[in-house]
Amino acid sequence: MKYKKIGDILILDNNYQNNDFEELSKKHHVKTIMKIDHIQGTKREPVYKILYGSETETINKENGCLFKLDLSKVMWSKGNNNERLRIAKLVEDGETVLDMFAGIGYFSIPIGVHSNAREVIAIEINPNSYHFLCENIKLNKLNNITPILGDCKRETPKFKADRIIMGYVKTTHHYLRVAIDSLNEGGILHYHETVPEKLIESRPIERIISEAKGRDVELLKINKIKKYSPGVEHVVIDARID
pLDDT value for 1: 55
pLDDT value for 89: 97
pLDDT digits (tens, 9 = 90+) for 4-14: 899 999 999 76
Average pLDDT, the chain: 93
pLDDT digits (tens, 9 = 90+) for 191-230: 999 999 999 999 999 999 999 999 999 999 999 998 888 9
Q: Which CATH superfamily is domain 79-241 in?
A: Vaccinia Virus protein VP39 (3.40.50.150)
pLDDT digits (tens, 9 = 90+) for 124-145: 999 999 999 999 999 999 999 9
Q: Sorting pLDDT into bands at 50, 70 and 90, what band is 20?
A: confident
Q: Which residue has the higher pLDDT, 96 or 36?
A: 96
Question: 51-65: b or e for each residue (b if 16 or more CB lie within 10 Å)?
Answer: bbbeebebebebbeb
Domain residue spans of the chain: 3-55, 79-241
Q: What is the pTM of this model?
A: 0.91
